[in-house]
Structure 1
Amino acid sequence: MTSRPRPHLPMRPAWLCRNCAAPWPCGPARLDLAAEFHGHSIALAFYLAASMHEAIDDVHGLGLRPNLPAMHARFLGWLSLARRPRRSG
């Protein structure tokens, strides 16, 4: 019997990956999200934007001040790479 790989999901309020402890969305989470939302890049952008806003609220709830440009880069900055169309050869 083989065990299923643990998903790379966010642990709130720190927004670290439950599996690898990297800032979420970590690399494996990005790959999973890109695959899950394949062909639905706008829905992925909305999901990540909502997650970013929840993370910002959580940071405020911890009494800290979020670095907004860093949060944007972390949650949304990688999307242009995920949205590139496949080239047909």
Structure 2
Amino acid sequence: MTGADVPVGRQHLPRRPTWLCRICGTDWPCLAARSLLPLDYLRDPTGLCVYLATMLQEALTDLHRLNPQPGPDPTRMYNRFLGWAAPRRHPDPPDDHATRG
């Protein structure tokens, strides 16, 4: 499989066990992965959350092995992996009866 065969967002993969992006070297999911992964999962946003939750669990395990004291901060890790990908709730459309006065 060549790089062209891999979905674009998945080219920015984590380097384990440090969980830095293999391409840009920043914390994974990096800005590029955060921008591109939702495009890969456009028709399956729940699948994106499942994928990221799986990666979060693996990252917690790896990072805890590297530095058990104090270990990775759970809140920071949640925000890093899933906080940005949580489905956004759109406001309900206005009620026609409320606007008719």
Asked if these proteins are the same fold (TM beyond 0.5), I'd say yes
Q: Which residue of 2 aligns with 1:18?
A: 22
TM-score by length of 2: 0.71
1:72 maps onto 2:78 in alignment: yes
The one-letter amino acid of 1:72's match is Y
In structure 2, the gaps of 5 or more residues are: 90-101
Aligned length: 80
More helix by share: 2
TM-score by length of 1: 0.80
Deviation >3 Å, runs of 4+ = none
Q: Percent identity?
A: 42
Superimposed CA distance per residue, residues 41-73 of structure 1 (whole angstroms, 9 cap, x where no aligned partner):
111000000000000000122133110000000
Task: Tell me, in whole angstroms, the C-alpha distance in 2 between the residues paired with 1:73 and 1:84.
Answer: 15
In structure 1, the gaps of 5 or more residues are: none
The one-letter amino acid of 2:53's match is A
Task: Tell me, in whole angstroms, the C-alpha distance in 2 between the residues paired with 1:36 and 1:11.
Answer: 20
Larger CA Rg, structure 1 vs 2: 2
RMSD: 2.0
